[in-house]
Amino acid sequence: MNYSLEYIDIILLAMIAGFIFLRLRGILGKRTGFEGKTQAKFDKILKEAATKKAVLVKKETFDKDDQKEFLNGAKIAYETIITDFSDSDNKLISSKPLLNKEIYNQFNEALKERNARGHYAEITFIGVNSATIKEHKKIDKILNVTVDFIGEVITCIRDKDKKIISGDPEKIKKIYDTWVFSRDITSANPNWQLVNILT
């Protein structure tokens, strides 16, 4: 009786081993003689990755074409941020993605204080007279670009009774700003953020 139980155990173990072998073969496959094609595809992928890395390294130089493209975007960001901060709703909406956390918090606090006083802004953005790169500096993977802006706006602050507190709704005013924009050059996100206001 004991011998028959041992035979049954051996048969069961053999069946389990066979099942595991078939499962592994199904998952891992077997050698067919075409492994060289897989290696060629892998080499191609590595080559493409190396090419992309070379392009990225080239872009880290922030050449004249990159600077020209950056300034076009910086002018749009400048107008968006100034207009959003100076409009009558006392909220940051369209410019929020363009601000880092610290600058967003500073602007938001100023708007909360203005709103608490019952004051509201009116602005007409005339345009950017000039935008020039003062300096650009790469620290590790972060590229910081400092820009001098000269813009023109018509702006005033009114109280809840629409009385003018400051500014002139009839006068064009020149504004001079030096802003620092930043981005991680290794990130897939191409957007820059305002990280500091120097003037």
- Ranking 6-20, 74-88, 141-155 by mean pLDDT, the lowest is 6-20
Q: Could you give the number of structural domains in the chain?
A: 1
Does 1 reside within a domain?
no
Output the pTM of the full model: 0.67
Q: For residue 137, give the nearest of 55, 58, 60 by alpha carbon.
A: 60
Does 174 reside within a domain?
yes
Decide if 194 contacts 82 (C-beta within 8 A). no
Helices 64-86 and 101-116 sit at what angle, rounded to 10 degrees? Answer: 20
Q: For residue 165, give the nearest of 113, 116, 117, 109 by alpha carbon.
A: 117
* Range(s) of the domain holding residue 143: 57-197
Q: What is the pLDDT of residues 24-39, one digit of tens each?
A: 566 555 555 544 555 5
Q: What is the dihedral of CA 73, 79, 82, 87, to 10 degrees?
A: -130
Does 81 reside within a domain?
yes
Does 12 reside within a domain?
no
